Amino acid sequence: MKALEDLSYPHARFAGVGGVSETELAKLEISMCFLMDFGLRVDNELLYAKNKSLLTFVASRALAPIPHMRLTVPERLRQVVEAS
């Protein structure tokens, strides 16, 4: 985000949203850079290939049940959704 966006939010904001301290966020950011071998730029071809791969994967799994994953909506939220 820092490399691509004109607007960048401070670490304090991201840390608050993520529920971690600013120090922990900085450590995570540095760790991610090392794990990615500092390959932080993505060209259009790679982005397109990854997007296509993700869409293909999702399409292949669309009708397959996901074992052990059940999403339940609490009754109070279900009533709010149905009322609107």
Answer yes or no: are the C-beta atoms of 3 and 14 closer than 8 Å: no
Q: Give the pLDDT confidence score for residue 10 in this predicted structure.
A: 84
Counting the structural domains of the chain, the total is 1
Domain that holds residue 39: 11-61
Q: Is this structure's pTM higher than 0.85?
A: no
More confident residue, 11 or 63: 11
Q: Do the domain assignments include residue 56?
A: yes
Dihedral angle sign, alpha carbons of residues 29, 30, 35, 40: positive
Locate all alpha helices (DSSP H) within the chain, ordered by sequence.
Answer: 11-18, 22-35, 44-61, 75-83
Q: Do the domain assignments include residue 79?
A: no
What's the Cα-to-Cα distance from 43 to each of 32, 39, 48, 56, rounded to whole Å? Answer: 19, 11, 9, 20
How confident is the model over 5-48, as pLDDT tens digits?
777 788 898 889 889 999 999 999 899 889 988 887 777 888 88
Chain centroid to CA 62: 20
Q: Do the domain assignments include residue 82?
A: no
Q: Do the domain assignments include residue 72?
A: no
